[in-house]
Amino acid sequence: MDISGKTAIVTGAASGIGLGIATALAEAGANVVMADIQKDEVERAAHALSGTNKRVTAVRIDVTQEQSVLAALAEAERQFGKLHIACNNAGVPMHGTRLVDVPREDWDFVIGVNIWGVIHGIRHFLPAILKHGEDGHIVNTASVAGFQNRRGTDQGPYSMSKYAVVSLSEALEHELEGSKVGVSVLCPGPVNTNIPRGARNRPDHMGGPQLRSTNETVLAQRLATTGIDPNRVGERVVDAIRTKTFYAFVSAVPADVIKAGTGASRRR
């Protein structure tokens, strides 16, 4: 679809991949609503991005809460009118802890942001896109972790949440076949972002901010050494929207990922 002049909402847009997606969409000529739980950071990011010919605004959202998603959508429509593109991107880590030791609040947190955040986006952003009858697109951020559980990383809860995002996206693509709304599932490999410190944004109703410095050190080191620039991921998303590409892999070898997902490596 043609992105120029369309309106997009991006969740988790204050940092990392969401910021990269918002930047690429703004550069492609979209009106961009940058939505994030970190109010000050997202306002700063939107201010930095808004320049000549860029129509960008910031809104606070907590994707775990339906009312907050509805309020952000209302604000997006108030400012820009019709919504065309929704990037359900906000996500948090749950790495370095064995399943049996993950506290209840952290299960709620990873499921709340990574799965419910996407479900709320499907339940509310999608009808807003469908109602005007113009072209539209939904992008859900999964991960290569949505196809494989890497041994030794103890990232089972995170991986589970990303398998769910892949599955929701596949089902959505089936349901929207033949409509004017496309679907992409974004599956990045390592990207150099702030995700290792994701528990800093644990909402108060899920136990509040948390430092898991020892748990997520390994992840931080891996991303700092092998992670790609989030702006490259943003460009991949713009390309996937323009070309209606469903599986949008970035910095991962799709054939390897899919082979792992079919169980060849699981039986070892």
Ligand X SMILES: NC(=O)c1ccc[n+]([C@@H]2O[C@H](COP(=O)([O-])OP(=O)(O)OC[C@H]3O[C@@H](n4cnc5c(N)ncnc54)[C@H](O)[C@@H]3O)[C@@H](O)[C@H]2O)c1
Contacts with ligand X, 148-187, as mask; x by CB under 6 A: ----------------------------------------
CA distance 3 to 85: 9
User: Which CA distances in Å does 145 have to 54, 63, 64, 166, 223?
Assistant: 34, 21, 21, 10, 14
User: Among 3, 7, 10, 15, which residue sits at the site for ligand X (rule: CB under 6 A)?
Assistant: 15
**Which residue has 């609040």 as its token pair?**
105
2 or 40, CB closer to ligand X? 40
CA distance 189 to 207: 29
Residue 8 parent element (H or E): strand 7-11
User: Among 9, 25, 37, 122, which residue sits at the site for ligand X (rule: CB under 6 A)?
Assistant: 37
In contact, 222 and 120? CB cutoff 8 Å: no
Both tokens of 49, joined, read 């991005």
Q: Which stretch binds ligand X (CB under 6 A): 51-59, 123-131, 191-199, 210-218?
A: 191-199
Q: Which residues are catalytic, by number? A: 158
User: Among 3, 8, 10, 18, which residue sits at the site for ligand X (rule: CB under 6 A)?
Assistant: 18
Report in angstroms how near the CB of residue 183 gets to ligand X at its nearest.
16
3 or 191, CB closer to ligand X? 191
120 or 137, CB closer to ligand X? 120
80 or 147, CB closer to ligand X? 147
CA distance 188 to 129: 25
User: Among 96, 121, 156, 198, which residue sits at the site for ligand X (rule: CB under 6 A)?
Assistant: 198
Residue 36 DSSP label: E
Residue 187 parent element (H or E): strand 181-188
Can residue 63 be called a binding residue for ligand X (CB under 6 A)?
Answer: yes
In contact, 108 and 133? CB cutoff 8 Å: no
User: Which CA distances in Å does 98 have to 107, 158, 230?
Assistant: 12, 11, 28
What's the full length of the chain, in residues?
268
Contacts with ligand X, 209-228, as mask; x by CB under 6 A: --------------x---x-
For residue 36, give the nearest of 126, 113, 105, 142 by alpha carbon: 113
180 or 222, CB closer to ligand X? 222
Can residue 141 be called a binding residue for ligand X (CB under 6 A)?
Answer: yes
Q: Applying CB under 6 A, what is the total number of residues that bind ligand X?
A: 32
What residues line the site for ligand X (CB under 6 A)? 11-12, 14-18, 36-38, 61-64, 89-92, 113, 141, 143, 188, 190-191, 193-195, 198, 201, 203, 223, 227
